[in-house]
Amino acid sequence: MMDVRSDRQLPFWIFLLIVLCWLLPGLLGHEPWKPDEAYSFGLIRHIAASGDWVVPTLAGEPFMEKPPLYFIVAAGFLKLLGGIFNPPDAARLASGFFLILTFIPVALAARELHGRGFGRWAVLALLGCLGLAVRAHQMITDTALLAGMAWGIYGYILGLRRVIPGALALGFGAAAAFLAKGLLGPGLLGICGILLPVIVRSCRTLRYARFLSIALLVSLPLPLLWMGTLYARSPELFRTWFWVNNFGRFNGTAGLGPRSAGHWFYLTLLPWYALPALPMAFVALWRQRGVLPEIWSIPLTIFTVSLVVLSSAADARELYALPLLPGLAILAPGALRFEQPPSAKWRFALQVLFGLLALVLWIAGLALAWGYPEPIWTRFEASAPGLHPHGSLFILALALIITLSLGWVLIRAKMACHRPLIAWCAGFSLCWGLAMILGMPFLDYTKRYSDPFTQLKHYLPQSGCVSSVHLGEPQRALLEYYAALQTLRVEVDPQAKQCRFMLVETESGKGGIHPDGELLWSGHRAGDHRERYELYRLH
């Protein structure tokens, strides 16, 4: 194992500064957003209130799309910190927790591959990926899957040198991936375990078989506990989860999830989604051509298997590409092990690019805060009617601190910080932080449901039930949060016909339902005229 050269070492305080400036903005300061955050928050609130960790429940109905690991952890954060932070913010901290649990094995795995000092570069290659930032800061279970996959990869890599610690890492990673999103994560790791002996000579031993056996034993107890308890509670719910939400979603027979984007979707997505990890990994592999170390084959194999399996699925969505990133990030620091030509031109180009973006974000942020420059504020006001300037010295102070800190790293830091990767990550974190801090009032105003559903609360009946038509999962979850309302859905509940009030969700261009009754209230999110909600008193 080689050590990184001293001129390539990244000072820990600069590394920590970039990670914190990227990680914290976006986790706090906003309500649940549609679609994924909204239904996730409903499931989290149910677990926090009821203590039922077996059957995820959304607005009074079982929701068997995913196992409960993320929701349980987020419910713990909600109960622990809900009195300090806004409840959605407290629950969303679980995503930050799982991100940290992702960074640790990525750094450790990169250190196993490339030597001491390279782990920090692997973390930066991961957090610098354009496709990660938005999803990583959302209240979604995919962050738990990401952590499980990262620990699984590290377990395989470590297992070549230390069997028991590697097996523990792989086993717990597979269990976490399973309890996050079902069979996908452990399935990917399991396929790799079968293929590695074909690719890696050192895996064709009894030692490797013992490693896999220990990992399997470690991975089974928690998933079996949840599955057994779920089956004892309701065999029907177990079958719904196991067959419909695993195999049915994968082969398309369930009729759930997004529409198919084609089997080439991820190949066209990755060039920007995985930037800069993908080109760095390609450079590292290219320079090792002909003499690729066996250990490098592990993250490469897991990435390839994951890409093939995801591309074979009936449904495709950019969110599903998150498991592809850890393997690339672990390979990426290999590009830094070789002598490189001077990178002053790259650094200067990145400094100009991110400097201009930061300037644009500051101008837009000042317009949101104070209503000036007026032409920019007018554009914001037109897209979000009812929005008012949110002048806050605290917000501006936070934005200024991030600007000065990361601006200094981007422009003036010496030694390893002159590398294009550090310039990319510092500039990207700067722009992300400014967008989330200065732009949060506008983003939250246009994406939250608190305004229309709080208004709706005043029109609800004091007694009796309310039925609903075409009401989506995010809306049902947030109706329960903001309006304390659980509707009876006409689509699945025969008792809904007995309700004297009906809530209808309509979408422009799809036609609407107009019940025989009196319209009591109609509303929508600010700036969103596509979705409308109407409350009727039926005749």
207-249: per-residue pLDDT in tens? Answer: 999 999 999 999 999 999 999 999 999 999 999 999 999 988 8
Amino acid at 286: W
Q: What are phi and psi of 451, to 5 degrees?
A: -65, -55
- In this structure, are residues 466 and 431 in contact, taking their beta carbons and an 8 Å threshold? no
10-residue mean pLDDT series, the chain (539 residues) = 54 93 95 91 96 94 95 98 95 98 98 92 96 96 98 97 96 98 96 94 94 97 97 96 90 64 87 96 87 91 96 90 97 79 71 94 93 87 85 90 93 62 93 96 91 93 91 92 94 92 82 82 84 91
Length of the chain measured in residues = 539
pLDDT value of residue 511 = 59
pLDDT value of residue 223 = 97
- Report the distance separating Cα 503 and Cα 488, nearest Å: 10
pLDDT value of residue 7 = 46
| CB atoms closer than 10 angstroms to residue 246 | 17
Domain boundaries, given as residue ranges, for the chain: 26-336, 344-447, 452-538
pLDDT value of residue 528 = 78
284-296: per-residue pLDDT in tens? Answer: 999 887 688 889 9
pLDDT value of residue 1 = 47
pLDDT value of residue 256 = 63
pLDDT value of residue 255 = 63
pLDDT value of residue 401 = 96
171-191: per-residue pLDDT in tens? Answer: 999 999 999 999 999 999 999
Give whole-number Cα distances, 535 to 272, 444, 445, 452, 459, in Å.
43, 24, 22, 12, 8
CA 88, 90, 91, 97 torsion: positive or negative?
Answer: positive
Helix axes 69-81, 163-181, angle to 10 degrees: 80
**CB within 8 A of 347, min separation 6: which ones?**
418, 419, 420, 423
User: What residues pair up with 501 in beta bridges, in sequence order?
Assistant: 466, 537
For residue 28, the 8-state DSSP code is B
